Amino acid sequence: MSAYPRVAEFVEALNTKLLGQQRLVERLVLALIAEGHVLIEGAPGLAKTRAVRELANKMQASFKRVQFTPDLMPADLTGSDVFRPQTGDFQFQAGPLFHQLILADEINRAQAKVHSALLEAMAEKQITVGQHTYQLPKPFVVIATQNPLENEGTYALPEAQLDRFLLHVTVDYPDAALEKDILQLVRGEAANQQPDDGRGMISPIEIQAAQKEVQQVKVSAAVEDYMIRLVMGTREGGVLAPLLEAGVSPRGTIALDQCSRGHAWLRGRDYVLPDDVQAVAPDVLRHRMLLSLKAQASGISREQLVQSLLDQVSAV
């Protein structure tokens, strides 16, 4: 039996709690299935934290939220060896990263050394403290949020390491009609303090089953070629090369493939169309391109760059 109906129900349940955020919801589910990490960027109050809380709530997985602050230290994430006077030895006390789903809230408020500890754990799925290396749980998915409006007291994530996020999703303001629906939803929740319906509605086994099915989704030679041409467009000699300091890595190509398959599967297809590639390309590619000084000076955005790539590289 296919995992599809269960995952579709899960997506639907999330959408009833996150009004007008279908794209964000879908990206979070894509990441979960691909066991990849997500960076969510958006202004305050756009339900970034709420989205991850709802996701965690509807899954049977261990969840931990970590609020990033300037005084957070790497050991506050990884854990450390703690002296035990009873036995006179040191024992490792696991930190909050030892959970399946991590919300790294306001990630840009912590310092560079904390970012490297987190980004390393994300890439290696293990942590080294002292002489020992500890495996992180499976699945291990980090969802980080950041607010682009703030600069004071924040530390930008190292651009060269942003690659470790499978997807970089931006969220935008709702329109007036949606705003009204959100108000009613949240008022209703506050008034009758509804019990959380759908708590733990999806299990890791169902997610794994979905993962297997996504791996079976077929990519034709023509579509594969299209994905590679898009990536090559960001490298030396490519259409975007004059505007980029560095292009998309093979990790980016793999991410484009995984996300395109997942996108097709979520639409009930077992083969990828160029449309799937185009739909996920902005969120897969935007953070993997390092803009040249010339591009930065011209004020061109990463969104515009991805759009220009999609315009210039034909699908056939």
Ligand X SMILES: Nc1ncnc2c1ncn2[C@@H]1O[C@H](COP(=O)(O)OP(=O)(O)OP(=O)(O)O)[C@@H](O)[C@H]1O
Binding site for Mg ion (CB under 5 A): 49
The listed partner (Mg ion, ligand X, none) that binds 44, CB under 5 to 8 Å by sort, is ligand X
Place of tokens 């097709």: 264
Residue 103: other Cβ atoms inside 10 A: 26
Q: Residues in contact with ligand X, total (CB under 6 A)? A: 17
| Residue 117 or 144 having the CB closest to Mg ion | 144
Residue 97 is given by DSSP the state T
Among 26, 31, 49, 289, binds ligand X (CB under 6 A): 49
The secondary structure of residue 137, as a DSSP letter, is P
Q: In angstroms, what is the minimal distance from the CB of 46 to Mg ion?
A: 9
Question: Nearest approach, Cβ of 40 to ligand X (angstroms)?
Answer: 8
- Token code pair at residue 230: 């898009």
| Between 52 and 231, CB nearer to ligand X | 52
For residues 32 and 144, which CB has a smaller minimum distance to ligand X in the complex? 144
Tokens of 23: 């794209």
**268 φ, ψ to 5°?**
75, 20
Strands 132-135 and 126-129: antiparallel
DSSP state of 156: P
Residue 281 contacts ligand X per CB under 6 A:
no
Nearer to Mg ion, 49 or 258 (CB): 49
Stretch that binds ligand X, among 15-23, 68-76, 91-99, 210-218 (CB under 6 A): 15-23
- Judged by beta carbon, residue 42 or residue 247, the one nearer ligand X is 42
Q: How far is the CB of 144 from ligand X (least distance, A)?
A: 12
Residue 11 binding partner per list Mg ion, ligand X, none, with a CB distance cut-off of 5 to 8 Å that depends on partner kind = none
Should residue 21 be labelled a site residue for ligand X when binding is judged by CB under 6 A? Answer: yes
**According to the binding rule CB under 6 A, does residue 147 interact with ligand X?**
yes
Piece of the chain touching ligand X by CB under 6 A; list 28-36, 88-96, 180-188, 289-297 = 180-188
- Determine which residue in the list 44, 148, 158, 188 makes contact with ligand X, applying CB under 6 A: 44
Cα 111 from Cα 123, distance rounded (Å):
19
Tokens 């060896």 sit on residue: 81
Instruction: Give the separation between CA 160 and CA 248, rounded to whole angstroms.
Output: 11
How does strand 38-41 pair with strand 141-146?
A: parallel
Q: Which is nearer to ligand X, 124 or 172 (CB)?
A: 172
Q: Which of 47, 127, 144, 305 binds ligand X (CB under 6 A)?
A: 47
> By CB under 6 A, is residue 201 in contact with ligand X?
no
CB 93 within 8 A of CB 80: yes
Candidate residues 25, 32, 38, 46; the one interacting with ligand X per rule CB under 6 A: 46
Helices of type H across 193-315: 204-216, 221-232, 250-266, 274-285, 293-298, 302-312
Q: In this structure, what token pair is assigned to residue 97?
A: 């990263």
Residues 84-113 that bind ligand X (CB under 6 A): none
185 counts as binding ligand X under rule CB under 6 A: yes
Alpha-carbon span 6 to 12, nearest angstrom: 10
Residue with tokens 């979070």: 28
Helix (H, G, I), strand (E, B) or coil at 90: strand
Q: From Mg ion, ligand X, none, which one binds at residue 6 (CB under 5 to 8 Å depending on kind)?
A: none
Q: Is 144 in the site for ligand X (CB under 6 A)?
A: no
Cα atoms found within 13 Å of the Cα of residue 30, Cβ hemisphere only: 31
Answer yes or no whether residue 48 interacts with ligand X by CB under 6 A.
yes
Footprint of ligand X on this chain (CB under 6 A)?
A: 18-21, 42, 44-50, 147, 174, 182, 185-186
